[in-house]
Structure 1
C-alpha cells in the first residue's frame, strides 16, 4: 500500500495516485464550501464527477501535494473579491458598477437586485450580466461610500 499522492503528467493534467498505486488521470479538486469554509472539505473528482478522495482540510494534505492542489483550485475558481464600489450608473437596474477588486478595477453590469445574494451573515455574492460571480466577504467592512451604494440595491 502506497500513500495517496498527486502529480502532474506531461500534458499538465492533475493525476491522483491512490493507496493501491492506481493512477487516476485528469482529476479535479473541488471545495465543498468555497465561500464559508474554503480551507475545509476538499474533494478529488474524476472526469465523470465521481469522488476519488476526500480531504477534511487543507492542513490534512501533505505539503508537497498541497501546492499542486491549490494551483488546481486557483485555476478552477475565479471569484474576484470586491473591496470597494467606486460608482454605479443608476440606482435602477440594469446598472453599470465600477468596483475595485482584489484583481484590480473592473466594470460589471447588474441586471437586477436578485443578482445580489446574501450567502451568510454579511457575505454577499454578486452575479454580473456575463455570469461572473463577485464576492463581498463582509459588507460591513466596506468603506462608507461603498456601503451607501450597496444599500440602495439590498
Structure 2
C-alpha cells in the first residue's frame, strides 16, 4: 500500500473550494461569452492570444502550448473559428511545414466586443467580491503552480 499524505480537514476544504469556485467562475464567464458573442471561453482565449501576437498570427504548435490545449483540440477549435471567418490558417513563411493561425479583421472586431463582456465578468464574479490582498494571493499561488508544473511563467 502506498504511503499517502492525506489532506487534513482544512486542506480538503480549501481544495474543494478551489475546485468549486473555479468551475462556477469559468462556467459563468463561458455562459456570458456564448450568450453575448457566440464564443466559448477556449475560443475567446485563442482570439486573445492571436491578438497579442505580432501580425495577429502564431504557429499552431505555439498556440496550443500557450493555451494548454492538445494540438488536436486546438485544430478543431481553430477550424470552428475559421468557418466563422474569425481566423484563417496558412503556411508559415519561414518554414513551409509549419501552419500558422491568423486573426482576421472580423475576428478582431468580435474580440473587441467580447473583451468588454469578459472583463466585466472577471470584475463582477471575482475581483469585486474578494479582498484585494486575497486576490493577489490567488495570483501568487496560481503562478507558483503553473511555473512548477508547466515550467514556464505566465
- TM normalised by structure 2 equals 0.24
Answer 1 or 2: which has greater strand percent: 1
Answer 1 or 2: which has greater helix percent: 2
Q: Which has the higher contact order (CA 8 A, sep 6+)?
A: 2
- TM normalised by structure 1 equals 0.24
